[in-house]
Chain A
Amino acid sequence: MTSITFIQLPKFSEKITDQEHKVTLIFNNVLLISGEYMHIPDAFMPITQGAIYWIIALIFIGLALRWAKDEMSEDKIPLVAVLAAGVFAIQAFNLPVSMGTSGHLVGGALVAIVLGSPYAAVFVLTLVLIVQGVVFGDGGITTMGANIINMGVIGGFVGFYSYQGINRMIGNIYISSGIAAWLACLIPAIACAFEMTIAGTFPLVPGLVAMSTYHAIIGIIEAIITAVVVYLIHTSRPDLMTTDTKETVIS
């Protein structure tokens, strides 16, 4: 093997080979059977790339903290922190998808929709991912920035703004939140596939096909459960959320 430095960026072949096509199918099925999610572990990304994702993530964490200070007053932070513990527990629910496949809720879109800001998702998911990475080893330390970007930033922003856009078009908060949650599950998975390719640890086409197919399927459960939860909250505690997300829910 030639000597490799971590500064070098590898480049996978742009064409998918016949073998890659077959292996992608197998990989896809294994993912579906296992019900695994996209926490990138340590070592699957060169340290320099991990550092870049960390810097980007820190910028968004800073913005999330500023949101907490400006929009919901800094002293209400404990409320969101306790909610983060609840979201952590919610992620433990094993949800049936189909054909024996299971999935679990990420909750980024749900938090962003209910609390009325994508930064709420960044804040909550950052806390959740720190505990998952440091205590449970689910997701790496050097790759935590990438995981925060995928699930917190991309998931939160996609979930929140797609909810707003779709809700304006169709005027149904349950369907809108369902579609938004599905997108917030799918898009971060696609981002994850790109990151793994840039890192040189998984080829783009098989990664994209496997990750997007799997997350498109488990995203359905995320969509249904998010819609049911939004319905429940809207019915039992309508003060927690507004149908128009222009207003901040906690004020």
Chain B
Amino acid sequence: MIEHLFDIERDAGRDSWIHSLDARVKIIVSFAVIIAVVSFPYSTAVYTLGLTTGIFFLVLWGLSGLSPLVYIKRFLATLPFGLFIIFFQIFFENPWYETFTPLVTLPFGINIYRESVEFASILGVKFVICISFIILLSSTTTMQALLNGGRRLGLPSVMALSLGMMIRYLFVFAGMYGRVNSSLAARNFNAFDRSLPYRYRLETLGYAVGMFFIRSYEQGERTYISMLCRGYGKDSYEHLPKKSLIKSEWVFLLLSLVFIVGNTVGVYLM
């Protein structure tokens, strides 16, 4: 996951109308879509909701100017656990249904039920929409902008400070992670090489992880001491200038919220 950090930040730093929107607008719109989709009942009407919200997503992604490949790569990276749960739904008699009609009978007498396939598809649609908006949010907003947006939306200062420190050093450790892996590879070490004794592989990895832990702790100590030198204390407050949304951001935010609420309620009542 950390290997993709630089790619995500590079994409987030590009220039487009979506990229230039205030992070607060993008956070509110993305979270509103996720909450609306998750709140929607597990019914087949989700297909319509998924279609309309999907078109909304495609429009926003198009406006961001990012390649579809960026989306596909990130989508595939986040897929596995959700995909397994969705896929295996088709074999279970889901409690949301009363009767089950076998659709296909596989070897060993395993049935695939029509109702379970339906439930899996409902879950799949919801999952894809939620993931898509998170990908859109993080692919068009730098981490620092996300944090500032969060602070302006009321994220407690202590959490903002912690997340800010974490984000800053995430890139340091991502680089360090790459260097550690390179140095291990340079010494022909492969954790999955069965010709090497298992104990040796675990010891090497254990020391690498332990070294990482100690280095991050020591980095934390150095950072903390240098912050103290610059006058940091528990009452310190990192100033974040006030920033009002411009007219176009207000218009986009209000139109988006009207669409999200109207679309969800409309599809539900249909």
Which residues of A come within 8 Å of B, CB atoms?
1-6, 10-13, 17-20, 22-23, 26-27, 30-31, 34, 36-39, 41-47, 50, 65, 68-69, 73-96, 100, 102, 105, 110, 114, 123, 127, 130-138, 140-142, 196, 200-203, 206, 221, 224-225, 227-229, 231-233, 236-237, 240
Contacts and interface: CB of A to CB of B under 8 A. Distances in A.
Contacts of A69: 234
B227 A110 contact: no
Contacts of B98: 2
Contacts of B207: 228, 232
B35 A22 contact: no
Contact of B38 (A4, A11, A42, A74): A42
A75 B92 CA distance: 51
A29 to B, nearest CB: 11
B216 A96 contact: no
Nearest to B207: A232
Given A41-B131, A237-B214, A203 B92 contact: yes
Nearest to B233: A75
B43 A3 contact: yes
Contact of B37 (A19, A31, A37, A43): A43
Contacts, number: 293
Contact of A4 (B42, B88, B92, B131): B42
Name the prevailing secondary structure of the B interface residues.
Answer: helix
Q: How large is the interface on B (under 10, 10 to 19, 20 to 34, 35 or more residues)?
A: 35 or more
Contacts of A95: 191, 202, 205
A85 B173 contact: yes
26 contacts: A4-B43, A5-B41, A12-B95, A19-B110, A34-B80, A39-B81, A41-B81, A41-B131, A75-B232, A78-B223, A78-B227, A80-B162, A85-B165, A85-B172, A86-B220, A87-B216, A89-B216, A92-B3, A93-B209, A140-B130, A142-B34, A142-B38, A201-B85, A201-B123, A232-B206, A232-B207
